[in-house]
Structure 1
Amino acid sequence: MHPAALLLATSGIESAVRLWSPLPEDGNTEPRVVSDAGSAAAANQQRMRSDPFEAMLLNISFAGGGDRDLHSPACRAS
């Protein structure tokens, strides 16, 4: 159970699980709706296959800013 989101998960004979949530009462659109499900699924699969330690280091490099090449090592050549 999520403390802030009201969701209902349904499943049938097929292997798909669908998540349902009510629309906002004021008629506004939901900001969390994923418009490109294919890209979101691919990014999620990439995160699931990645090493958590490497992901942490990558997040640290983004937090540090700068125009660093993400494919080159961050250490100096000796």
Structure 2
Amino acid sequence: MNWTKYSGGGIEVPAGKHFETGEEAQLHEICNSLGLDLWFRLVMQPWFIRCTQLGIKEILGYSIGPENATWFEDFMY
């Protein structure tokens, strides 16, 4: 998923993490069932990964773990 990497304006956002095929399919199905465009994860995951790189471990009391498929599934719900 290197194509999700962003660099510009002094901002560096890493590429999203690719999960196992079964996990990817499950996340895709959840996006569909919730009416979310698949781009939702492809955009949000790299930004959350960047947050963790900057030392941000939680937002408003909710822990973030975007490199974990189960966390991302829970986040979407």
Q: Calculate the TM-score normalised by the size of structure 2.
A: 0.29
Q: Which has the higher contact order (CA 8 A, sep 6+)?
A: 2
Higher-helix-fraction structure:
2
Rg: which structure is higher? 1
User: TM-score, normalized by length of structure 1?
Assistant: 0.29
